[in-house]
Amino acid sequence: MICVMFYNDAEAVFSQTKPIATSVLDGFNVCIFPYGQTGTSKTFTMEGTPEERGVNYRTLEELFRISEERKGVMKYELHVSMLEVYNEKIRDLLVENSAQPTKKLEIKQAAKGTQEVPELVEACVHGTEDVWELLKTGNRVRSVGSTSANELSSRSHWYVLILTASHPCFTFILARNLCIYKLYLVACVCYMPCSI
């Protein structure tokens, strides 16, 4: 576990979280979860801008770099899902017309004892351009509102799920050879007014 004490510098936060985040390619399930009161730049640090990429983009960029570096030994496929939890409802941010009401999504316990959201869109990504387009798409339909600390604050919990499927290059692609691990990049709302 790493505790990062500041959120306004995505590069610094990423440099601290990179070893843990990229361990998803080594067979670990991982979660990067910023926590703090409203106005501490958690969402900005995770999302970033075209000029200053956030932790989400930087993490995927690094996963692609490592995948390319290991391509003679391991083959990786990366899939991205995005969901938000707002007013206790789960919404898939990658469904076409996701601003329209859709069927109810629920968290279910899988056979392995893990928690999953069945029927969540899993978009296969082949490079950082794909990633940036998906992040923009999901962010466009997210629920936002103002708080006293931030005029355009995210008002929903936002989860970016990166699913990595890998297998050694020298084996046939069979279900038993495929290793699947998950990386969760989370931006949670934590409205705690601060009085000075």
Query: Would you state the pLDDT for residue 48?
Result: 81
Position with higher pLDDT, 175 vs 142: 142
Range in 9-13, 52-56, 114-118, 145-149 with the lowest mean pLDDT: 145-149
Could you please state the CATH topology (level 3) that the domain comprising 10-187 is classified under: Kinesin (3.40.850)
Query: Would you state the pLDDT for residue 107?
Result: 86
Q: What letter represents residue 99's amino acid?
A: A
Position with higher pLDDT, 64 vs 190: 64
This prediction's pTM: 0.80
Q: Are 59 and 33 in contact (CB under 8 A)?
A: no
What CA–CA distances, in Å, run from 40 to 5, 10, 86? Answer: 10, 12, 20
Position with higher pLDDT, 91 vs 3: 91
Share of the chain above pLDDT 90, in %: 22
User: How far is Cα 50 from Cα 40, in angstroms, rounded to an integer?
Assistant: 20
> What is the pLDDT confidence band of residue 123, given thresholds at 50, 70 and 90?
very high
